[in-house]
Amino acid sequence: MPPLPILALAVASFGIGTTEFVIMGLLPEVAQSFGVTIPQAGYLVSGYAMGVVVGAPIVAIATAGLPRKTALLALVGVFLIGNLGCALAPSYGLLMAARILTAFAHGAFFGIGAVVARDLVPREKRTQAVSLMFAGLTLANVLGVPLGTALGQAVGWRATFWAVVAIGLAAGLAIQLCVPAGLPGARGRLVSEFRALGRWPVLRPMLISTLSSVSFFTVFTYITPFLTGVSGYSPQGVTGVLFAAGMGLTIGNLAGGLFADRGQMTTIIGSFLGIVAALLLLAAVAHHPGMTLAVLVLWSTLVFALVSPLQIWVVEAASDAPNLASTLNQGAFNLGNATGAWIGGTALTLGAGYAQLPLIAAAVSLVGLGLVLTAVSRTGRRMLSPSATRP
């Protein structure tokens, strides 16, 4: 049984993941409500992602001197206010503003939460603890998003945000009751912390995190037209495929934490190799529905096996600025989300087909793998040992 504090963090991450992704299932309802086009409503997705990118360093600075439990509760408060704003927004512009406000809590919560989860368990279980916290995010894709979408379609999209507010209240209560007080805030001065983040050993895993996200969203942003236009799935069939992929995300996240505590860099290298192979295979079997489903589940499992090991790599590399580094790495992931969507869209605009997107994503993953191998080659076999957690 996971420690109660980590379960409390997982409840909050479930709420954050639901509010981030459920809007994609509610775009037609939101567009009709405000009299905008669906592409215009789609900017609510991009606005959130960029809110995480911009908000991560701002909120990291604002919470730097706070005890970690206090900072977490404050971020849940921002999350609640933002989702209340979404539920009550009388105009598209105010809904966008509320989405961006909500996004400001995202990066810092996952950043500080990862440090808290790491510090609450023995060293040999640190990555597993972080993966359990992130399990809330992956479960949001499996349960929160489809249920939230169904609720919004049945009784109105605002009801979904009211439900997310309820999840946020439950998360705040769980953190208040279960997360121990007295967890310290950031050590030292912000200037010295930002100086620590300027070191290449810290920037390298952040860049790798970005590239892993770029690779994933180059394909996943366009997964519905890929499945319907290339693989031959019906719109109803896409729902089942995405559910299966969501299960892969959840399994991969937990497995990545388990294996990384036995060999962090081996897990990262193996995951990248598997991702490249899966993407090449996806391009080859894209016209076969059954094989496409199997490869998509494998691919999504491998992608999320990287999340917690990369997060721990950043935190350990920036041991003198863990809160700030962990938070900024969340911004790096979301920068990758937006960049991957842009790369995929640009490729399609220039004449590439949906079946070619996995090849582009594989090339991006190869760059990420190269950076990992460079890190290992510079430090020798020490990074491949099970006890190695600091590059």
Average pLDDT for 334-344: 86
Q: Are 113 and 75 within 8 A, CB to CB?
A: no
Residue 128 tokens, joined: 């597993």
How many C-alpha atoms does 370 have within 13 Å on its Cβ side? Answer: 7
CB 183 within 8 A of CB 119: yes
Question: Mapping DSSP to helix (H, G, I), strand (E, B) and coil, where does residue 90 land?
Answer: coil
34 and 98 Cβ atoms separated by less than 8 Å: no
**More confident of the two residues 63 and 177:** 177
> With bands split at pLDDT 50, 70 and 90, how would you rate the model's confidence at 147?
confident
Residue 107 structure tokens: 């990066």
Helix and strand element counts for the chain (H, E): 17, 0
Over residues 225-283, the pLDDT tens digits come to 889 889 998 877 887 888 888 899 889 998 998 898 888 899 999 999 999 999 999 99
How many residues make up the chain in this entry?
Answer: 391
Give me the mean pLDDT over the 326-346 stretch.
Answer: 85
Residue 187 main-chain phi, psi, to 5 deg: -95, 145
User: What is the pTM (predicted TM-score) of this model?
Assistant: 0.80
Full DSSP string of 153-193 = HHH-HHHHHHHHHHHHHHHHHHHHHHSPTT-----S-HHHH
Q: What is the percent of the chain where pLDDT is above 70?
A: 92
Cβ neighbourhood burial of 270 (10 Å; 0-12, 13-18, 19+): middle
- Does an H or E element contain 233, and which? none
Residues 6 or more apart whose Cβ sits within 8 Å of residue 222: 344, 345, 348, 354, 357
pLDDT digits (tens, 9 = 90+) for 149-206: 889 888 999 999 999 999 999 999 999 999 988 776 555 555 566 666 778 888 999 9
Q: Between 182 and 51, whose confidence is greater?
A: 51
Q: How many CB atoms lie within 10 A of CB 97?
A: 17
Domains of the chain: 1-185 (1.20.1250.20), 187-391 (1.20.1250.20)
